[in-house]
Amino acid sequence: MNNAGMVTKINGTAFMQFEKRVLATQMPYSMLEAMFEVDQEVQRKIDPNRRIEIREFILKSLENKQMFYFSPFIFSARNGIIAAHDGFEFEPGSKLYILDGQHRQSAISSAIGYLKSLKEGSEELGQYEKAIELQNQINMLKSYPVSMQIYLDLEQHEERQLFTDINTERKEAHIGLVMQYDYRDQYTELTRQVAESLVKEMEIEQKRSRLTNQNSAITSLSIMRKCLIALFEGILAVKSGDPYFRGCKQNEVPDISRAFFLAWKKLFPRNMSDRNKYVTGLSGIQIALAYTVFILIRQYSISHKEAIRMLASLKKHCSWKHHDPLFAHMYNPATGKIAHHSSTTAIQNTALAFIKKIKGEGND
């Protein structure tokens, strides 16, 4: 892509999709930033938490000197791009209107702004080597190659329909694949390490994130990761940033993690993966147990392993069946099963019910 006077030349490949002309191209982020706008009548508002999550992913990748990949952004040109004999021309005064990629774009922009503020601070402190390193990261983001699909002649109502369809049918990268192949997240790496050490102890689903009643695995990699975050940090929502292993040394973390999952074998019934009969194979119950350990550590100022051992008393007070009184806050008499067990509120309430039993409060 290059400039010729007031006309911007665009190289790419045109094709037809859904009877609409589309241009597939690529350009550096710094060039794209000056060319696009957000139409509020088409787009939704930015979710700040989603932007922060993506920005942290970008910054972590830069820090680790790893490449990060985004799927193609989707734009509408509104007839602002015309075919020329040597490619395409972006007409002066025209804009590209983003249909998919708004949060990724905003996260890149936010990351650049964040790095600029760090660079200024480093310069003011005389940390010039650090400032140079930060400028290199800024340059990398500005030159980041953004792959794009540009619809050339959509009407605004068609843009709204396309935006709705994209976000209705969207499926992010399968969490099972992320858990298997992402080496940038320490909790993901820890989960794989622990799961590998337990391969002879219990069946763990390696690919799927959601387990059906027909699945014989007791848990999955993605559920285990959530358990570990609840266990060490008490976080039940999305975790971003580096781990903070409370109350233990980092070299103790794998052994503590393994001890937590091995405790299930003594605590749960023999057929613990039978989700029709027992709740033990459900993600909300497993995460609630991990959160219970976190609470016990804080309330009693004890070690992780001591808190894990305290879970054993639940075996005397809980049948682990759906209709057990411990799960009354989630039980649906019409279906004979618990429901909505994985919401943050449900997990917190389940953990509190566990704590009362462990303390002896609420015993019959």
pLDDT interval class at 84 (50, 70, 90):
confident
Query: Which residue did the predictor score with more confidence, 50 or 296?
Result: 296
Residue 17 · residue 72 · CB < 8 Å: no
What pLDDT is stored for residue 174 in this prediction?
A: 46
Angle 126-131-135 (CA atoms, 0-180°, nearest 5)? 160
Distance CA 82, CA 38 (A): 21
The dihedral of CA 305, 306, 307, 308: what is its sign?
positive
> Which tens digits make up the pLDDT trace of 130-171?
999 999 999 999 999 999 999 998 887 787 777 776 665 554
Angle 338-177-149 (CA atoms, 0-180°, nearest 5)? 110
Any idea which residue has 């989630």 for tokens?
330
Q: How, if at all, do strands 219-220 and 331-332 pair?
A: unpaired
**Alpha helices by DSSP H, 175-270:** 175-181, 186-197, 221-233, 253-267
> Which tens digits make up the pLDDT trace of 204-252?
988 766 677 778 899 999 899 999 999 999 999 877 677 889 889 999 9
User: Quick one: which H or E segment has residue 25?
Assistant: strand 20-28
Distance CA 300, CA 363 (A): 20
Residue 317 · residue 323 · CB < 8 Å: no
How far lies 14's CA from each of 31, 52, 120, 339, in Å?
A: 20, 34, 43, 49
What pLDDT is stored for residue 339 in this prediction?
A: 92
Section 64-76 average pLDDT? 87
Asked if residue 13 has pLDDT above 60, the reply is yes
User: Quick one: which H or E segment has residue 97?
Assistant: strand 96-100
Residues, the chain: 364
Residue 314 · residue 357 · CB < 8 Å: yes
What pLDDT is stored for residue 136 in this prediction?
A: 95
> Which tens digits make up the pLDDT trace of 86-115?
788 888 888 898 888 899 999 999 999 999
What pLDDT is stored for residue 169 in this prediction?
A: 52
pLDDT interval class at 362 (50, 70, 90):
very low
Distance CA 222, CA 261 (A): 14
Q: How, if at all, do strands 2-4 and 7-10 pair?
A: antiparallel
What pLDDT is stored for residue 184 in this prediction?
A: 60
Burial-class residue 66 by CB neighbours within 10 Å (0-12, 13-18, 19+).
exposed
What pLDDT is stored for residue 7 in this prediction?
A: 66
pLDDT interval class at 313 (50, 70, 90):
very high
Nearest to 84 by CA among 199, 187, 191, 7: 7
The amino acid occupying position 84 is: A
Query: Which residue did the predictor score with more confidence, 339 or 2?
Result: 339
Distance CA 282, CA 279 (A): 6
Average per-residue pLDDT for the chain: 87
Burial-class residue 302 by CB neighbours within 10 Å (0-12, 13-18, 19+).
middle
DSSP annotation of 322: T
What pLDDT is stored for residue 363 in this prediction?
A: 45
> Which tens digits make up the pLDDT trace of 258-294?
999 999 999 999 999 999 999 999 999 999 999 999 9
